[in-house]
Each structure stands twice: as C-alpha cells, then as structure tokens.
C-alpha cells in the first residue's frame, strides 16, 4: 500500500523528471543546430543525466541525518541549478524563434503561398546566440561554487554623527555575520578570512548571528580558529534564526533546547560576549556607547525572540546606541518605530541572496531586493543608520556570484560643526 504522502512525493519527482527531460531535449535541439559533432550531444546528455541522478540520490537515499542541506546535497542542488539555468536561458531564445516560425507558417497558409518559409541560418544564429548567452550564467555559477564563495571582501564605511561621544571619534568596528560553519569545506580559505578580520585591527568585533546551519556540532571543528579573533574592546555576538535549530527534526524537545544551550556555551568559550536581549557599555574614559543585542526577530514566519524593551531597560534615552539585530526586517518594522533613537543597527541574514550584480556607484541588484527593502550595505532612515552585512559564509547554493562574502569595517566619526 502506498500512503498518500508517499504518493504525493513520488508524483512530484515524476513531474520534475518530466519537466527536466523536456527542457533538456529542447536544449539539445540548439546543440544539434549549432554543431553536428555527436560527442558534444552525448556529453550534454551524460552531464544532464548525471546531475539529475545525483540530485535525486542525494535528496532521497543520500539523506544526511539531522541536516536540511548536507554538503553533498548542497552541491547536488548547486549543480542542478547550474544546468537548469543553462537550459532555461537557451530555451528562451529557441522558444522565441519557434513562435516566429509558427506565425510565419500561419501567414503562409492564410496567404495561400506555396513557397516554404524556412530560414535555417537564422535558426542556427538564434541557437548559437542562446547557447553563448547561457554559457555566461553557467560559467558564473560554477565559478561561484569553486572560488566565489571564498572571495572575501573588506568593505569600509565612515559614518558621521552629531552626538558621537568625543572619545569615540575614529572608533573602528568590524562586523561579520552569517558564518554558517556547517557549510565550510576549505580550512585554508577560512583561516585566511579569520586572519583578514584580525588584520583590520578594529576596536571591537561584532558578530550578528547564524553561527551554524542547524547544530552546535557544526562549529566544533572551527571553534579554535574563530577563538583567535581578537579586538581591544572584545567581541560580541547575537543569535540568528538558524542558531535555534528550528529547521531540523529533533528526537525530543529537550535535545533541541540542549543544542541551543550548547551553542551559547560554545560562543562564550570562544570569547564572544553573547547578548541575549541585553546591553553592554563600551567606554573610553568618561565617554560611553550603549551596545545592545537582541535575539532573532524576523518578519514572515521567522522566530520573534527579540525583545527590544528588555534589551534597553538599563539604557538612557540620550545614550549613543549601537544595536545588533540579525534580521533587517526588525529595523524596518520595529526599531525605526521605537521611542528610542538607535544611531546604528547592524544586521545580516539576507546573504544578498549570494547572487547579484554590484558595480560600486553604478549597479546594485539582487533578486533578494524583492523580499527585503534593506538587503545589503548602508541605509539611512529617520536619521538612523543600518548596515546589512552580506554574510561571511553561504547556505543552500554552495557558492556566491557577484555578491561576495563580506567583512565590514565601520569607522565612527564626530561630525564637524564647521
């Protein structure tokens, strides 16, 4: 007997395989039009079948216990995405050509013309153009998996404030976010990135959540390395939505709670002062800044554990305030509307979708902008700033294209009166 849920899953797989096969056959038409070398056709078929077979295996029999996306599953998804993008871009051109040929055939039939309307050279040109353009995202996605995910960038900002305490003029903050240690697969690259953070020699290091994908154990191989992060005034952290272990099935609620407690303990062992709806004061002589950290608060089904009122219960209204909150929707929906003025909020979460186009001063685009108004970089509203860090690690697609892993360095400046 096949249970209803099993039947639905099987039906989805069958429909997916049919759609994938149709797209592949359509793309094969373009290859046959462009080249008559059979080995090219067979190579495309072999790659398509192997990628599909690996994807099906990893997401069925190859399921890794206790994870939503293991590394093999992540790469299986990435390779499938790469092939699908290649097929879809090619098909866009072939489909437009087929529409043209269909309209031309109807015209011939209605006009009674006996002359056959065929443009084989046009068909070959369209196929060549489609394949050529499809090769761009195909190559970019492969590069993103091979090199892009570890293409760490240091982004620097200087922000001026009228009421910055004098002792903090020139104060430097390094922000990192979304480590996602469960996705790492190259220790030398991570060692380089950690060293890059330390080389900034900032006054303080602030980590804005998502240390793991799901489980504390993911961070254990990397804990000693990240313990080497250092700054004069210490390093502080908050929790992100993935840190709570909400995205996997646990044997018991107690094991889930214990996982979270283990992560909190591990962060403290690594030297992070974890702020759980709390605040601390950074001091320079008689001057001070309120550093506020809330638990995750996210719009649209994400955990809302952040309690801004609790976190600021000991903070004065006229204090200069820096808020650490993982999800930028918290800033938009809650922080900006709060009675207190938060001079600078530091967030992450979006990853910039790990895909987009950025040319400083010219273009800044990612599909994630359709979900998050504030998705990467510095924004200013109502006299308050937010920086949305693009993330240190990666999740899902095991790479980055155009939106590179980020280490943010922010210098606070006292605004000149002249």
Phi, psi torsion values for 70, nearest 5 degrees: -75, 170
Q: φ, ψ for residue 112 (rounded to 5)?
A: 75, 15
> What span, in angstroms and rounded, lies between the C-alpha atoms of 40 and 254?
55
pLDDT at 361: 84
- pLDDT tens by residue, 261-294: 999 999 999 999 999 999 999 999 999 999 999 9
Pick 94 or 189 by higher pLDDT: 189
- Residue 367 scores a pLDDT above 80: yes
Percent of the chain whose pLDDT exceeds 70 = 90
Which pLDDT score, from 0 to 100, does residue 112 have? Answer: 62
Q: Give the number of other Cβ atoms within 10 Å of residue 229's Cβ.
A: 18
Domains of the chain, start order: 4-146 (no CATH), 152-414 (3.60.21.10)
pTM comes to 0.90
Task: Round to whole Å and give the CA distance between 103 and 96.
Answer: 11
Find out whether 315 and 321 touch, Cβ atoms under 8 Å: yes
User: Reduced to 3 states, what is the DSSP secondary structure of residue 403?
Assistant: coil
388, 177 contact by CB (below 8 A): no
Distance of alpha carbon 10 from alpha carbon 16, whole angstroms: 10
pLDDT given at position 66:
45
Closest by CA to 176, choosing from 326, 385, 384, is 326
Helix 71-111 with 4-34: angle, nearest 10 deg:
60
> pLDDT category, 2, cuts 50, 70, 90?
very low
333 contact partners, CB below 8 Å, separation of at least 6 = 299
DSSP string, 177-223: ----GGG---HHHHHHHHHHHHHT--SEEEE-S--SSS-GGGGGGGH
pLDDT of residue 104: 58
Among the listed residues 412, 411, 393, 413, the one whose alpha carbon sits nearest the alpha carbon of residue 403: 393
**Statement: residue 201 has pLDDT above 60:** yes
Please, are residues 234 and 273 in contact by the beta-carbon 8 Å criterion?
yes
122 compared with 228, residue with greater pLDDT: 228
Q: What is the mean pLDDT of the segment spanning 135-141? A: 93
Summary mean pLDDT of the chain? 91
pLDDT digits (tens, 9 = 90+) for 76-121: 999 999 999 999 998 887 776 666 556 656 656 666 655 555 556 7
């Amino acid at each position: 007997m096949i249970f209803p849920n099993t039947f639905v899953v099987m039906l989805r797989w069958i429909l997916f395989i049919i759609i994938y096969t149709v797209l592949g056959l359509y793309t094969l038409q373009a290859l046959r039009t462009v080249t008559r070398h059979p080995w090219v056709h067979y190579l495309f078929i072999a790659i398509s079948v192997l990628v599909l077979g690996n994807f099906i295996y990893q997401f069925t029999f190859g399921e890794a216990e206790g994870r939503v996306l293991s590394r093999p599953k992540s790469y299986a998804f990435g390779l499938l995405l790469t092939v699908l993008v290649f097929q879809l871009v090619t098909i866009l051109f072939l489909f437009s050509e087929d529409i043209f040929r269909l309209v031309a055939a109807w015209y011939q039939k209605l006009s009674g013309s006996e002359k056959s309307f065929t443009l084989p050279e046009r068909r070959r040109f369209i196929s060549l153009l489609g394949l050529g353009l499809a090769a761009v995202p195909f190559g970019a996605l492969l590069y993103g998996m091979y090199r892009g995910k570890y293409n760490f960038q240091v982004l620097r900002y200087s922000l001026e404030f009228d009421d910055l305490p004098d002792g903090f003029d020139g104060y430097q903050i390094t922000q990192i976010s979304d480590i996602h240690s469960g996705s790492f697969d190259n220790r030398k690259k991570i060692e380089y990135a950690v060293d890059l953070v330390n080389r900034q020699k900032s006054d303080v290091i602030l980590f804005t959540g998502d240390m793991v994908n799901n489980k504390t154990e993911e961070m254990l191989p990397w804990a000693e390395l990240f313990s080497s992060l250092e700054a004069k005034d210490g390093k502080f952290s908050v929790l992100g939505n993935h840190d709570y272990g909400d995205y996997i099935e646990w044997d018991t609620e107690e094991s889930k709670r214990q996982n979270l407690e283990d992560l909190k303990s591990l962060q403290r062992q690594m030297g992070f002062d974890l702020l759980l709806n709390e605040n601390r004061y950074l001091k320079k002589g008689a001057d001070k800044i309120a550093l506020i950290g809330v638990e995750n608060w996210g719009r649209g089904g994400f955990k809302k554990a952040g309690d801004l009122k609790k976190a600021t219960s000991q903070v004065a209204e006229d204090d200069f305030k820096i808020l650490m909150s993982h999800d930028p929707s918290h800033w938009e929906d809650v922080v900006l509307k709060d009675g207190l003025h938060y001079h600078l909020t530091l967030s992450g979460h979006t990853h910039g979708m790990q895909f987009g186009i950025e040319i400083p001063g010219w273009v800044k685009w990612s599909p994630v902008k359709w979900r998050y108004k504030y998705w990467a970089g510095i924004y200013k509203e109502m006299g308050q700033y937010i920086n949305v860090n693009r993330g240190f690690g990666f999740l899902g697609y095991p790479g980055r294209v155009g939106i590179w892993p980020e280490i943010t360095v922010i210098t606070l400046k006292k605004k000149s009166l002249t």
